[in-house]
Amino acid sequence: MRVTVKQIAELLGGQVIGDETTAITGVSSLTEASPGDISFLANPKYAPYLAETKASAVLVAAAQPGGQLVQVVVANPDQAFARLVDTYGPQVAKMPPGVHPTAVIGENVRLGRDVTIAPYVVLADGAVVGDRSVIYPHVYLGADSRVGNDCVIYPHVSIRERCTLGDRVIIHSGTVIGSDGFGYATVEGIHHKIQQVGQVVIEDDVEIGACTTIDRARFDKTRIGKGTKIDNLVQIAHNVQTGSHCLIVAQVGIAGSTKLGNHVTLGGQAAINGHIVIGDQAIVTAMAGVSKSVPPKTVVRGYPAQEIKVAQAQEVAVRRLPKTQQTVRQLEARIADLEARITELAKAKP
C-alpha cells in the first residue's frame, strides 16, 4: 500500500486539511500507528490521542483543533476507514473455484456456478450450494441443507440437515447451525429426549461469529432475520425468531421461543429468558438478565433487567448504602437519646 492523502480523500469523498501529498503506507489505530499510517477518530473520547499518535493522517468527522496531523474530514470515519481497508489493506487470499478431490459429495447434491469446495468438505445427500459460494475445509453440510449465493463458510462449520442459508451469508469457524434444541420430558426423575424436527433459516446478509450455536426448532423454524450480525460464542435456542438487522454481541444466550424485533441490540453476556418479546430497536446492555418482554425503543440493564434510568437510580442507591447505614445509626442514636431525655423530663414533673 502506497497512496497519497489526496487519493484517499478522492476515494472517500473527504476534504483534506493539511498536506494532501502526504504518503500513506499503512492503516492502524491511533494508539498503535507508526509514521506513514492513517488512522481514524470515530469516538470523541479518543480525541486526546490525536496529540500523541504517530500516524501521518487521520479520518475525522469534523476538523480537530491544533497539531500538525493531516486530517481528512468524512461523514462517517468508522465506515470510511472500513472502506479504506477494503480498498488498500491486506487482501484475504481467495480460494480458486472448483471441487477438491478429497471432498465427499453425496447423491443429488447441486452445485452452482463458480463454487469452491475445499479439501475434506462433506456434502450430504441433497445438499445445495449456490453460485460463487466458498466452502472452506472440513465443513459439513447435512442432508437437504441449502447454502445460497455468494456465501462464505469458514473451516469446521457444521450445518445440519434441512437448514437453509440465504445469499451473502458469512459463517466463521466452529459454528454449529441446526444442532438439536434442548428439549426433555422428565418422567419419574428420568429425562427423556424430545425430538427436534424443525429447521434453521438464516436470511440474506447475515454474519455469524466463531463457535456460535443456533439450535433447530422443535417444530417449524428457528429464524435469523436478514442483515443480522452475531458475534462469537452466542447461544440461540430452538424456535427463536430474530427480526432484521439485529446486533447480538459475544456470549449472549437467548432461550427458546423468544422473539426479537428489528434492529434489536443485545450487549455482551446478556441473558434472555424464553417465550418473551424484545421490541423493535430495543437495547439490552451488557450482562443484563431479561426475564420479561421489553417494549420497543427501550434500553434496559441490570439483573433482573429494568429500564435503564430506573436501574441506574437503584445502582446509585446501593453504592450509597454504607453512608446511608451510618446516617441511620446516627439518627437511631439521636432518637434514643431524645427518648431518654423525654422520659427523664416526664419523671421530673410533679
Would you name the residues annotated as active-site residues? 238
Cell 429494568 found at: 306
Return d(Cα 185, Cα 165) in angstroms, integer: 31
Return d(Cα 163, Cα 139) in angstroms, integer: 14
Q: What is the chain's alpha carbon radius of gyration, rounded to the nearest angstrom?
A: 29
Cell reading at 239:
424456535
Phi, psi of 171 (to 5 degrees): -125, 125
Q: For residue 267, which of 226, 234, 307 has the smallest C-alpha distance? A: 234
Q: What residues contact residue 247 under an 8 Å CB cut-off, 6+ apart?
A: 228, 229, 264, 265, 266
Phi, psi of 198 (to 5 degrees): -85, -160
Integer CA distances (angstroms), 96 to 78, 156, 262, in order: 31, 19, 37
Cell 429426549 found at: 193
Backbone conformation region of residue 269, classed left if phi is above 0, alpha if psi is from -120 to 50, else beta: left
Return d(Cα 340, Cα 135) in angstroms, integer: 84
